Every structure is written in C-alpha cells, then in structure tokens.
C-alpha cells in the first residue's frame, strides 16, 4: 500500500535515493527549477491519465513542486526527480479525492497506479507513445480552437504560466485564463478522448500538433520572459516530441521537415548568445560553436523528407535554415537562394512575419533599397505594430543604406517594443554604433556601412 | 456519452428533404448508436422562446440570425467525441449543410436548483 503522506518510494519500494543533503538553498531552487522545466509536462500528463481530471492534475503537480521546495533542502535532491514528483503528485491526488469523497472505485484506480507506471523521463522511450504525446494530441484536438490548443499545450505540457502565455499572444491574463478554462471544460463535457489517435486519423490531426510543437520550440529558443532568454529544455522537449512524431508518422514529410527545422535552428544556439547573454547576430557568430552533429542530422532528415516531393512550409523553412547552417561563413551565404525559398514559403504562409523575412533576404541579395521597399510596404499596411523586429529590420536596412539618422530613430522605436533584456542590449549597442559621435567625421561611417552591407543581416531572418 | 447531432442547412437544403439518408440510418441503427431523432418542419414554422427580466419574449423564426438552421436532429450514444465526429461526418447532410454536435448533459442541468 502507498503511504498517505509518507516519502515517495522508488520502483523497488525503497526510499528514493538522495544525492546528498543540499545545504545550499540556491542549489535546491535550481534543481527544482530544472525539474519543473524537464518534468512538469510528464507529471501533468501522467496525472491526467490516472485521474481523468485536468484541473486536479495541474493542481497536484503544482503541489508536488511546492513540496519539493520544502523537502529537498532537508532530504536532498532525489536521484530521479521526475519519479519523485509524479509519486508525490499522485499521493496528493489520492488525498484530494479521499477528502472530496470520490467513489471508492476511482480511488482504487488511482492508488493502483504502481510506481513502475511512473515514467522515468531521463530514459529515452521513443518507441512508446508516452503520456506527453497523448496529452499533446488531446490538447491539439481539432474540436478545440487553434488558439486554445496552443495555450493549453503551453500551460499543461510546457508548464508556462497563464501570464507568460498571455504575454506571448498579446492578450490579457484574464482572457487567457478564460481561454484555457473553456478548452478544459470542452474536453471534459464533450468527451474528447485522452489518447494518441488511431492511424487513420493521424494525417488530419498532425498539422495542429506540428504548429504547437514549433511554437513550443520557439518558446524555448527565444523565451518571452526577461533575462531568461533560452529556456533550453523547451526546445529539447519540442525536438524530443518531434522525434517521436516522426517515428510514428514516417510517411509525413512535414513532420520530418519540422524536426529538421528545429535541429538546424538548435544547432546554432550555442553561437547565438555571448557570455553575458547578449544576442549575437548570425553574421558575427563563431560558427565553430555550432553543433555539427545536429546540422548533419538536420540536413539528412530534411533531404529524406524532400525526396518525397511533397513540399510544405516546414520543409521550406528547414531548407532556409540549412542554407545558413551549411554556409562556410556569413559571406558564403546564398542569399538569392534564400530569397527564392521565402517566395516559395509565402505561397504556403502569406503572413507579415514571412514577408518581413523575405525583405531581409532580398535586402541582402539585391541591396538595402530593394529590402526597404518591402519593409515600407509592411509598415504602411499597419500590421506587426507590436513587433520589435519590424522597426529593427527597417533600422538595419537604413543603416546599410547610409541613412544613419533615420536608422537610429528606427532602432529607438524597436527598443521601445523589445521584450527581453538581450534584445534590448543588442538594440542599445546598435544605437550606439549608428549614432555618429558629435564631433567625429560622418562620411567614414557611410563608407564602412556600404562595405559591410553584403554580409550583414538582421536577426529577423534567424527566426 | 450522448450527443445530439443537429442537422443544419440553408434554404437550398430543403431540396434534399426527401433524399433519405443513403443507408446511414440503417448502418447506425445496426451499430446501435441511434437513440432517437427526426426531421423538422421548415424554419419558417419555428418559434424562439426567451425570457428576459421575467418577461416572455417570443420570436417568429429560428433562434439565430444566420442562414443555416436546424433541419433535423439525431440523438446518438457512442464512446467519445471522435466517434461522434466520425458518425456525423458520414451523414449525407454533412456534404451540403453542417452538423453541429452537442454533448447531452447527464441528469438534471447543474443550475437546476
């Protein structure tokens, strides 16, 4: 029998091994933070399967993390934090159900969840569609609105707070809370099944999952919260789930395309940030810091997908990423090819952000004037008004065209809209570089910028 | 789980009124998922009931100012929403109109008392 409120036990019934009592409170906080990023989705997904109650699952997962903060300083950090957290959350669920006098049958069902059913997130179980995949397909069910699917996945699977999700989607926290609440209600009331869909339904259910995975990856790749720029585990999580999906759906080239895209972006992440956390533009990155293994894997996965001759937005974006990842240096980048790929991408995704990226590519393939023409069209259309990369891209093109005063003004506009410290630091540096010293010569600046124009690019194309 | 399939269509759907269901009814009866249902008289014969501030408000016509109206309904009982979607998608009206799937509440509504 399981102890009602005792310490968690491992598979063999012995107490979970502690790595040693941590006397450093900060160390424990870091461990809990890491466990939160790595294990939250798994804990919630397993609890939903076992209890069938989404709110209860989330609340008990939250309690488990709070308990970890309380106990790990005293008892040490468990060797398998995921198993410890899942067991603690499960025990909490039993308490709650008991207090709420839920039927005995339900209680037995939850209690009967043996500890060996607590998955070890450290193990790579790619052959088994795990609870997270089940949760992913349920969160991405087409009977839910797209915005609700994304929000629900980020909340339940990635553990982002409602406030963070609200910020990412430019709505109020209250609106986001309602959106997530309604989605959970519908799953319950309309009996949306908690499962990976049967094979014949997978092709129609997959695109929604891909969209959400890519958002999840991007959340990890460029975090929405202040100084915490790279929440690496979210990107790793998205890649892991994409691998499972690619394994489940080998005949879906877009799944492979997404996997390739994420690998190729992720491969460059070590070169993306300086030691102080500042963003380094692609052309200034130390390419020896890029992960050659991931680049090779990404291009292999992409080539296999492209051989099926069913192009799609993820495969095209991966092809663009491959152009960057395989260029010897910034000057070697095939910008005309990239501009052509963006033109192809617009056929699938005629969005302002894609058009902005096309403008960057054309600016580098044909010169800043051609790029500015497209950016000014976007500005005139009144879209992307909250997006700092619109003025930042415009600023970059103006700078390279030698229109420094206008460039500095556009960088300042971008600074006002940037949402992370790293982005702000990058923009401040650009402003400093762009503003000519009051007494210094002005002409030299123009010449330098003209010279650098060919291998310069904005970070917008890095998205 | 019980679901109400509301068979909806615009005016042009009326010409399908006597088409039958192309074997759908027989198949679903055989599967044992049908709990009841019927076709309905045209929306022009409908009356909408609302009570606002304890005042009874009747409207001649369908409940919503949309072109599509409910033309029939089927009550089904099946495992989950995926099966309900599969059943609804097989109905011929899904090809020219729309079918709204509404979960049927078990027991008295939550705000009954």
Tens digit of pLDDT for each residue in A107-131?
Answer: 677 766 644 444 444 344 444 457 8
Please check whether residue B89 touches A, CB under 8 A. no
pLDDT: which is higher, B23 or A233 = B23
| Residue of B44, B48, B25 lying closest to B36 (CA atoms) | B25
Q: How far A187 CA sits from the closest chain B CA (Å)?
A: 9
**The pLDDT of residue A5:** 41
The radius of gyration of chain B from alpha carbons, rounded to an integer in Å, stands at 16
**Which residues make Cβ contacts (< 8 Å) with residue B110, sequence separation at least 6?**
none
**Do the Cβ atoms of A155 and A162 come closer than 8 Å?**
yes
Please check whether residue A226 touches B, CB under 8 A. no
DSSP state letter for A157: T
Rounded to whole angstroms, the Cα distance separating A74 from A140 reads 40
Of B81, B101, B103, the CB nearest to A193: B81
- Count of pairs with CB atoms under 8 A, one residue in A, one in B: 21
**Chain A CA closest to residue B101:** A190
**The pLDDT of residue A112:** 66
pLDDT: which is higher, B89 or A167 = B89
Chain B hits for A143, Cβ within 8 Å: 81, 85
Please check whether residue B104 touches A, CB under 8 A. no
- pLDDT band at A47; cut points 50, 70, 90: very high
Quote the CATH superfamily of domain A334-463. Answer: Tetratricopeptide repeat domain (1.25.40.10)
Residue from A140, A191, A200, A205 whose CB has the most chain B CBs within 10 Å, to mutate? A191
Which residues are paired to B98 by β-bridges?
A: B8
Quote the CATH superfamily of domain B2-16+25-103. Answer: Dimeric alpha+beta barrel (3.30.70.1060)
DSSP state letter for B64: S
The ipTM of this complex is 0.74
- pLDDT band at A295; cut points 50, 70, 90: very high
Chain A hits for B101, Cβ within 8 Å: 190
**The pLDDT of residue A178:** 94
Q: Give the mean pLDDT of B47-70.
A: 71
**Do the Cβ atoms of A211 and A136 come closer than 8 Å?**
no
Please check whether residue A385 touches B, CB under 8 A. no
Rounded to whole angstroms, the Cα distance separating A82 from A78 reads 9
Q: Give the mean pLDDT of A193-217.
A: 85
**The pLDDT of residue A412:** 94
> Taking phi first (over 0 means left), then psi (-120 to 50 degrees means alpha), and beta for anything else, what does residue A430 get?
alpha
**Do the Cβ atoms of A410 and A418 come closer than 8 Å?**
no
The SS3 assignment for B75 reads strand
- pLDDT band at A225; cut points 50, 70, 90: very low
Rounded to whole angstroms, the Cα distance separating B24 from B94 reads 12
Q: Please report which residue ranges of A277-312 form alpha helices under DSSP H.
A: 292-306
Q: Give the mean pLDDT of A59-75.
A: 94
**The pLDDT of residue A233:** 58
CB–CB of B81 and A192 under 8 A? yes
Residues 138-157 of A with CB under 8 A from B: 141, 143
Chain B hits for A192, Cβ within 8 Å: 80-82
Q: Is the pTM of this model over 0.90?
A: no
Q: Extract long-range pairs of A423-431: CB within 8 Å, 24+ residues apart.
A: A423/A279, A423/A388, A425/A276, A425/A277, A425/A278, A425/A279, A426/A278, A426/A279, A426/A281, A426/A459, A427/A388, A427/A392, A429/A278, A430/A395, A430/A396, A430/A399
Domain range list for chain B: 2-16+25-103
pLDDT: which is higher, A368 or A136 = A368
Rounded to whole angstroms, the Cα distance separating A153 from A138 reads 9
Rounded to whole angstroms, the Cα distance separating A368 from A376 reads 12
pLDDT higher than threshold 90 for residue A189: no
pLDDT higher than threshold 70 for residue A265: yes
Q: Give the mean pLDDT of A281-293.
A: 91
CB–CB of B85 and A143 under 8 A? yes
CB–CB of B79 and A193 under 8 A? yes
Domain range list for chain A: 25-120, 334-463
CB–CB of B79 and A197 under 8 A? no
Q: Give the mean pLDDT of B43-72.
A: 72
The SS3 assignment for B4 reads strand
Q: Is B12 exposed, middle or buried (0-12, 13-18, 19+ CB in 10 A)?
A: exposed
Please check whether residue B100 touches A, CB under 8 A. no
């Amino acid at each position: 029998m399981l102890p009602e409120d005792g310490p968690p036990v491992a598979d063999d019934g012995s107490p979970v091994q502690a790595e040693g009592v941590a006397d450093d409170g900060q160390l424990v906080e870091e461990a809990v933070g890491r466990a939160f990023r790595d294990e939250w989705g798994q804990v919630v997904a397993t609890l939903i399967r076992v209890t069938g109650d989404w709110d209860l699952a989330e609340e008990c997962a939250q309690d488990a993390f709070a308990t970890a903060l309380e106990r790990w300083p005293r008892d040490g950090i468990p060797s398998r934090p995921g198993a410890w957290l899942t067991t603690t959350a499960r025990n909490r669920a039993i308490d709650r159900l008991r207090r709420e006098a839920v039927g005995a049958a339900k209680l037995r069902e939850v209690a009967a969840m043996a500890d060996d059913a607590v998955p070890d997130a450290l193990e790579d179980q790619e052959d088994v569609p795990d609870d997270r995949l089940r949760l992913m397909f349920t969160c991405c069910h087409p009977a839910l609105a797209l915005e609700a699917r994304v929000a629900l996945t980020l909340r339940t699977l990635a553990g982002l707070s409602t406030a963070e999700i609200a910020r990412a989607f430019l709505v109020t926290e209250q609106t986001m809370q309602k959106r997530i609440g309604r989605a959970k209600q519908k799953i319950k009331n309309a009996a949306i099944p908690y499962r990976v869909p049967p094979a014949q339904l997978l092709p129609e259910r997959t695109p929604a999952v891909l969209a959400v995975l890519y958002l999840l990856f991007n959340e990890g790749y460029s975090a929405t919260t202040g100084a915490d720029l790279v929440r690496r585990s979210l990107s790793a999580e998205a890649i892991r789930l994409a691998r499972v999906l690619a394994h489940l759906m080998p005949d879906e080239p877009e799944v492979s395309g997404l996997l390739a895209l994420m690998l190729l972006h992720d491969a460059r992440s070590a070169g993306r940030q300086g030691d102080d956390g500042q963003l380094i533009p692609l052309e200034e990155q130390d390419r020896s810091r890029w992960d050659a293994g991931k680049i090779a894997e990404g291009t292999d996965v992409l080539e296999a997908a492209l051989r099926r001759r069913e192009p799609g937005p993820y495969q095209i974006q991966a092809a663009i990423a491959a152009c960057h990842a395989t260029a010897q240096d910034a000057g070697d980048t095939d910008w005309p090819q990239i501009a052509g790929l963006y033109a192809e991408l617009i056929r699938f995704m005629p969005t302002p952000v894609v058009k902005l990226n096309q403008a960057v590519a054309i600016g580098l393939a044909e010169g800043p004037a051609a790029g500015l023409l497209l950016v000014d069209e976007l500005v005139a259309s009144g879209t992307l008004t909250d997006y700092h990369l619109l003025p930042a891209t415009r600023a970059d093109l103006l700078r390279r065209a030698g229109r420094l005063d206008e460039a500095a003004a556009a960088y300042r506009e971008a600074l006002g809209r940037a949402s992370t410290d790293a982005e702000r630091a990058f923009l401040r540096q650009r402003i400093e570089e762009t503003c000519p010293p009051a007494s210094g010569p002005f002409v030299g600046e123009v010449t330098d910028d003209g010279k650098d124009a060919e291998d310069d690019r904005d970070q917008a194309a890095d998205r | 789980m019980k679901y109400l399939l509301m068979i909806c269509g615009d005016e042009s759907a009326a010409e399908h009124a006597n088409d039958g269901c192309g074997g759908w009814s027989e198949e679903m009866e055989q599967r044992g998922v049908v709990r009841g249902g019927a076709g309905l008289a045209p929306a022009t014969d409908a009356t909408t009931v609302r009570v606002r501030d304890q005042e009874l408000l009747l409207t001649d016509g369908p409940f919503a100012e949309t072109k599509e109206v409910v033309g029939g309904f089927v009550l089904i009982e099946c495992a989950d929403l995926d099966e309900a979607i599969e059943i609804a998608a097989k109905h011929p009206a899904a090809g020219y109109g729309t079918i709204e799937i509404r979960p049927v509440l078990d027991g008295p509504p939550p705000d009954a008392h």
